[in-house]
Amino acid sequence: MFLGLVIALVAALYLAYLNRRLWARISFLSQQRNELSQKLVLTQESALHHLSRELHDEFGQILTAIGAMVSRLRKQFAAEPALYSDLLEISGMAQAALDKVRSLSQALHPAILDESGLESALDWFIPRLEKHTRIKMSYEKSGISFPVESGASVHIYRILQEALNNVVRHAGTGEAKIRLKYLSDALLLEVEDHGLGLDPRTTQRGIGLVVMRERAELLRGKLEFLRPSEGGTLVRLSIPKASLHQHQRFEPLVAEGTAGK
């Protein structure tokens, strides 16, 4: 009898030891996964920043130069209607290409985020999206604003962008409400719609929503997907004020072989 109790006790202790090792391993792997996913988010953002700058600085300057040269040729051949007409068409094509490059550059990484900050970027982005999608965007700001560091601004902007893209693609509604609230100790961003609402399986598995969560974690913030009483979806992002001043700036990736030039 005594021997049986000893064996049972030893077995229980061994199982407890194995469980502790298993949970420690799971915790370690989970931490590794979080670190990897966050590094991927940061690398992606740096790559987008790099591509945006390349498009704006390199291709933008080339197209601007082409437009200027064609403009000079038009003045030289103003007396030749056929050639002048062709040059006028080329000038229009160059300008259209330049506008497209600038638009794509802004979509990859809005320069206004770095130049003027989060509020200016939202003031620019929300009306632009409203015009493009024809979904009414109600935007409200409240509280006493405070500076938000450039790197944090990028994550907040991307979370808002993804939340509104989900409204456009999945909500089946013609209106969305955006609220930016400056609290004494935090910044609160809310995106609300009264459409179809999110499928619970989507909030767990959708890649866009997963990246939103990773960005929120990088800001040491809290991201919630709630259901308003009127139905639909409420995306709420809360970020401690301290995290908005200590976050890193994004620097464009330097292409291999270009360093030091």
Task: Mark which of 89, 109, 129 sits at the end of a domain.
Answer: 109
Task: Mark which of 39, 74, 109 sits at the end of a domain.
Answer: 109
Query: 235 and 147 in one domain?
Result: yes
Average pLDDT over residues 152-177: 92
Query: 160 and 100 in one domain?
Result: no
Average pLDDT over residues 159-185: 93
Average pLDDT over residues 143-148: 92
How far is it, in rounded angstroms, from Cα 70 to Cα 4? 96
Residue 251 is assigned to a structural domain of this protein:
no
In this prediction, residue 124 has a pLDDT band, given cuts at 50, 70 and 90, of very high
Query: 120 and 104 in one domain?
Result: no
How far is it, in rounded angstroms, from Cα 253 to Cα 45? 9
Spatial contact of 182 and 146, defined as CB atoms under 8 Å apart:
yes
Residue 256 is assigned to a structural domain of this protein:
no
- pLDDT above 90 (res 160): yes
Residue 166 is assigned to a structural domain of this protein:
yes
Of 132-136, 172-176, 199-203, 240-244, where does mean pLDDT reach its minimum? 199-203
Of 17-21, 54-58, 130-134, 187-191, where does mean pLDDT reach its minimum? 17-21
Cα angle 125, 44, 209 (rounded to 5 degrees) comes to: 65
Query: 177 and 85 in one domain?
Result: no
How far is it, in rounded angstroms, from Cα 137 to Cα 171? 14
Query: 134 and 187 in one domain?
Result: yes
Top pLDDT among 22 and 208 is at 208
How far is it, in rounded angstroms, from Cα 144 to Cα 141? 9
- pLDDT above 80 (res 34): no
Of 60-69, 134-143, 152-161, where does mean pLDDT reach its minimum? 60-69
Residue 13 is assigned to a structural domain of this protein:
yes
How far is it, in rounded angstroms, from Cα 200 to Cα 206? 10
Domain count, the chain: 2
Query: 140 and 156 in one domain?
Result: yes
List Cβ neighbours of 83 (8 Å cut-off, separation of 6 or more): 77
Helix (H) or strand (E) holding 80: none
Task: Mark which of 75, 109, 143 sits at the end of a domain.
Answer: 109
Average pLDDT over residues 25-39: 64
- Give which of 160, 192, 189 is closest to 173, Cα–Cα: 192
Query: 88 and 14 in one domain?
Result: yes
Residue 181 is assigned to a structural domain of this protein:
yes
Residue 44 is assigned to a structural domain of this protein:
yes
Q: Hey, what are 134's tokens? A: 């024809």
How far is it, in rounded angstroms, from Cα 99 to Cα 218? 34
Query: 210 and 91 in one domain?
Result: no
Residue 261 is assigned to a structural domain of this protein:
no
| Per-residue pLDDT at 239 | 95
User: How many Cβ atoms from other residues are within 10 Å of residue 97's Cβ?
Assistant: 16
Query: 80 and 26 in one domain?
Result: yes
- pLDDT above 50 (res 253): no
Roughly how many angstroms between the first and final C-alpha of the chain, as a whole number? Answer: 82
| Per-residue pLDDT at 257 | 42
Residue numbers of the domain that contains 119 = 115-244
Predicted model pTM: 0.71
The sheet carrying 136-142 orders its strands as: 136-142, 175-182, 186-193, 233-240, 222-226
Query: 194 and 89 in one domain?
Result: no
Query: 150 and 237 in one domain?
Result: yes
Residue 233 is assigned to a structural domain of this protein:
yes
Task: For residue range 211-233, list pLDDT tens digits in order.
Answer: 899 889 889 999 999 999 888 99
Contacts 24+ apart (CB under 8 A), 138-142: 138/175, 138/176, 138/177, 138/178, 139/178, 139/179, 139/180, 140/177, 140/178, 140/179, 140/180, 141/179, 141/180, 141/181, 141/182, 142/179, 142/180, 142/181, 142/182
Q: Tell me the CATH number at 240.
A: 3.30.565.10
Class of residue 255 by CB neighbours under 10 A (exposed 0-12, middle 13-18, buried 19+): exposed
| Per-residue pLDDT at 200 | 57
Query: 74 and 4 in one domain?
Result: yes
